[in-house]
Copies of this chain bind each other. A is one copy, B any other.
Amino acid sequence: MDHPDVLAWRDGHIEALDQTALPHQVRTLRIGTVDELVRAITSLAIRGAPVLGAAGALGVALAVRQGSGEGWDDTRLAAEIARIAAARPTAVNLSREVAAVAARIGDGTAAVEGAALAVLESTGATSLRISARGAEYLLQACGDGPLRVHTHCNTGALACLGWGTALGVIRALHVAGALSHVIVDETRPLLQGARLTCWELGQLGIEHQLACDGAAPFLISQGRADAVVVGADRIAANGDVANKIGTYSLALAARQAGIPFVVAAPESTIDAATPSGAAIPIEQRADEEVTAPAAPAGTRALNLAFDITPAELVTAVVTEERLIPGGRPA
């Protein structure tokens, strides 16, 4: 895609496309401290489960460099690394990749940076394998197309590097000449669908239409899509899926309409240590993301950033390694 790197490691700094500024501004953040990284993650300048994993990996390298310059002891270094891992709670990729790279600290700075860069590179490569397998599965499940695909939030290069997860599957269908068009949920409150997915699809020349989140289940009920494809922030051992708020409603509508509900995500999203969706921590964000500017001053909100789709509503999970049948008959 014709834009700066979504995420890179240059001269001991993390460079990241500022996703809060898109689509109207294309701006790169240069991040040199743990504070700056945590702020970029909590503000969603850096976002998307796989990109969060890679940013966490690079964050460990950043913390080691900063700690070495500022003379941190091991306790301080561990505390700073823990802050990165905890910057957002729902996507397991962040804490997992932080832990994996932090385990190399005893081997020295070069080993840590090497491990972090390996995560960065494999994240993009993984997305290409998910994309290909997901497209193949959809064509099996839905026929030869051209397919109409409904998706949610942003799961493209911006979230995952490479081609993305759900959006990578869509791109692979497009490249294969098997895509009709995409229906994109705007994804309130932060509008990642309207801002980011529409921008990526526009850059790729893929036909798309934007819909309000509340409209999506009705559009699905009216036969407007052949399949729903989404990403995931964490998949529990029983197959329950945590993903951007709004996902559950699509899964319910897809089952009712009899179309596949497919989750495209890297293996690193699967968390065998979490038995079910009920054990996945759901991030609650500030009321103002929902209330401003339309609601009267002082209005309170229920602002869950993610929801849980029970395995029984999932047709299949596609990873870079395998196709995992969901709890719902295909």
Query: Which A residues have a C-beta under 8 Å from some C-beta of B?
Result: 23, 152, 183, 185-189, 191, 194-195, 198-199, 202, 208-219, 221, 224, 245-246, 248-249, 252-253, 256, 287, 290-291, 294-296, 298-304, 307-308
| CB-based nearest B residue for A256 | B252
Inter-chain contacts of A202 with B (CB < 8 A)? 296, 298-299
Which of B199, B210, B221 contacts A302, CB < 8 Å? Answer: B210
- Asked if residues B291 and A210 are in contact (CB atoms below 8 Å), the reply is yes
Inter-chain contacts of A211 with B (CB < 8 A)? 290, 301-303
Interface class of chain A by DSSP? mixed
- Asked if residues A219 and B300 are in contact (CB atoms below 8 Å), the reply is no
Give me 5 A-to-B residue pairs in the complex whose CB atoms sit less than 8 angstroms apart, sorted by A's number.
A210-B300, A214-B246, A215-B307, A224-B302, A249-B249
A23-B296, A302-B219 given as contacts; is B210 within 8 A of A188 (CB)?
A: no
Which of B183, B249, B294, B302 contacts A253, CB < 8 Å? Answer: B249
Inter-chain contacts of A219 with B (CB < 8 A)? 302, 304
| CB-based nearest B residue for A153 | B214
User: Closest approach, in angstroms, between the C-beta of A277 and any C-beta of chain B?
Assistant: 10
Inter-chain contacts of A185 with B (CB < 8 A)? 214
Inter-chain contacts of A224 with B (CB < 8 A)? 302
Number of this chain's copies in the complex: 2
A218-B308, A307-B215 given as contacts; is B209 within 8 A of A300 (CB)?
A: yes
A183-B302, A290-B186, A299-B198 given as contacts; is B209 within 8 A of A249 (CB)?
A: no
Q: Within the assembled complex, what's the spacing in Å between the Cα atoms of A214 and B299?
A: 19
| CB-based nearest B residue for A181 | B300
| CB-based nearest B residue for A245 | B215
User: Closest approach, in angstroms, between the C-beta of A209 and any C-beta of chain B?
Assistant: 5
User: Closest approach, in angstroms, between the C-beta of A205 and any C-beta of chain B?
Assistant: 12
Q: Within the assembled complex, what's the spacing in Å between the Cα atoms of A308 and B217?
A: 11
Q: Which 9 A-B pairs have the closest CB atoms?
A: A214-B246, A213-B214, A218-B307, A217-B249, A188-B212, A194-B294, A194-B295, A218-B248, A191-B294
- Asked if residues A299 and B188 are in contact (CB atoms below 8 Å), the reply is no
- Asked if residues A291 and B248 are in contact (CB atoms below 8 Å), the reply is no
A249-B249, A253-B252, A296-B23 given as contacts; is B188 within 8 A of A213 (CB)?
A: yes
- Asked if residues A299 and B194 are in contact (CB atoms below 8 Å), the reply is yes
